[in-house]
Chains A and B, each alone.
Chain A
């Protein structure tokens, strides 16, 4: 459920980055206060472990297909919520940078969707509550399963909300929800089963690893109140502020432009623009064909919909697009050519030196 940059608006991306940064700052402070330096390598190596084990194919009995480990809930169980959240954040960052799994702007959304709900909601309220009565095979199974499923369901719901608020797709809320939640129920069950299998195995062989982490001996327990306050604050921002932005100002830059200059777009009223426009009109054989529709087109882009772009504008749009791409490619080829010539010169001069 990695959100992509293309699917979010700058406002949603920015708000989720702020929310994630807030939670990460809180988690960092927690980790710094309660951890000894021994745990930093542990977090790092555990991050690498989750990254590597995500590549293992687990055969799902009776289906013929296979599933993977997400790792959010496992990290929370082994490292505690704060360290788990930070570790998962770094795993997601590496995935975004090297594998294009979710974009950099959407990274805030992704860390929130996959880290916050598992580490700060599912883990403390479900898993830890269940384990407070003592460990048993049954409790580990139920606690881990429910945590994994709830964590993923909340994450998937968050993806739907963020996509909806960004307004980049036409998918109706209910349809998207009906698609996402059942898929993530299946993913959640597999995640829960794999995590249970691992946690249960480790608990059987080295019970102290699992029990210490949960009690907070090794990594410290967490006051969930502060995290919830941060979460509620951002929920208010998203729910209140953002929905207003999303509906009335789909474009964050235009909004900031409006506040900076009092206009939503820069008007081309300078003498230079006017002169250039006059020249353009003179040298165009059929100025009406391409230029007069600019008002229509501006209206279409402003409203974001409804206005039909006519054949004239469309043809010039296509031609312009093709020319722009060609131009960009030519510049690239030119740079490559110059680099090759320079390298050639370098080799020749080196040979002469020899």
Chain B
């Protein structure tokens, strides 16, 4: 139960954040989607032993969260929730790759630990990028970007439908499961004999609802197409946003700023 309520709240919080009016929210959704794609590609293209080069990429989420007024804690918490699979697969790296790769004055670190850490950083950064995209853009505007990217309309329409009805159906599922749990205390979930009837009833109700929705839409002149309002045009600031970030990503990919700073600092300090 808590799971359903929590999931709905998660969507709602991001939905509300996307409604803010900040400089990041005002950037054209297409450019935000494209910048996110470039960011993800550049990050995953890093070598598996690379750590220092990745650190410069943290600037992007920090700047976007600051400018877009996205709470750091919320994104961080969500990111941690998304990491287990990466940890599950990556934790084998230290076991299989035991060759010493880094020698510190006080310790020796194997390649496996370095690649594991690199994987975690990549995982964290890529998850954060996706969350920031949705938190500063919102589903309807991402759909707008998809439309410009020539994603088939039928898919976009269906995506928006699914998104809209998640709230309705998840609440219905929540109510049903709550009702069930009140009648069957000490049960952790739905008992085997009720799997079919409970989920099946929900499914039948869903199908009836789909029918009613279609009829309501048909009455309002739905002919299989969504009629959207006027779309925002891509402006100069949007293009600059894309070029600026892309240039930064490619620059820090090929010039390891972190290492340069490190060499400079250790050189000066010593």
Contact = CB atoms under 8 A, between A and B. Distances in A.
B199 A69 contact: yes
Interface in B62-83: 62-63, 65-67, 69, 78-79, 81-82
B102 interface: yes
A333 B260 CA distance: 23
A310 interface: yes
Interface residues of A, number: 127
Contacts of B211: 42
A320 B260 contact: yes
Contacts of A28: 152, 154-155
Interface string B241-270: 000000000000111011111111111111
Most chain B C-beta atoms within 10 Å of own C-beta, residue among A24, A105, A331:
A105
Determine the interface band of chain B, counting residues with CB < 8 A from chain A: 35 or more
B81 A100 contact: yes
A47 B207 contact: no
B59 A6 contact: no
Contacts of A96: 130
Contacts of A78: 203
B127 A100 contact: yes
A55 interface: yes
Contact of B154 (A32, A46, A100, A287): A32
Interface of chain B, main secondary structure: helix
B58 A44 contact: no
Interface stretch (A115-123, A226-234, A235-243, A297-305): A297-305
A99 B7 contact: yes
B262 to A, nearest CB: 2
Nearest to A288: B267
B122 A6 contact: yes
A75 to B, nearest CB: 11
B257 A56 contact: no
A345 interface: no
Interface string A188-220: 000001101110111001100100000000000
Contacts of A202: 200, 203-204
Contacts of B255: 268
A136 interface: no
Contacts of A311: 103-105
Given A32-B154, A58-B189, A332-B65, A9 B55 contact: no
Contacts of B14: 98
Interface string A25-47: 10010011000111011111111
Contacts of B187: 59
A284 B263 contact: yes
B123 A5 contact: yes
A44 B217 CA distance: 13
Nearest to B12: A98
B41 A48 contact: no
Given A52-B166, A308-B102, A98 B10 contact: yes
A247 interface: no
A90 B195 CA distance: 25
Nearest to A297: B259
Interface stretch (A126-134, A149-157, A166-174, A346-354): A166-174
Contacts of A285: 267-270
B16 interface: no
A104 B155 contact: no
Contact of B69 (A90, A333, A339): A339
Nearest to A166: B44
Given A98-B134, A253-B253, A286-B270, A2 B85 contact: yes
B199 A320 contact: no
The 4 closest A-B pairs by CB, nearest first: A320-B262, A44-B161, A284-B267, A100-B82
Given A2-B85, A51-B169, A254-B45, 8 more contacts: A45-B169, A51-B162, A58-B189, A87-B158, A89-B155, A90-B155, A98-B134, A308-B103
Interface of B: 3-4, 7, 10-11, 14, 36-37, 40-52, 55-56, 58-59, 62-63, 65-67, 69, 78-79, 81-82, 85-86, 89-90, 92-93, 95-97, 99-105, 111-112, 115, 119-120, 122-123, 126-127, 129-131, 133-134, 139, 142, 152, 154-155, 157-166, 168-170, 172-173, 177, 187-192, 195-204, 206-207, 209-211, 213-214, 217, 222-224, 253-255, 257-270
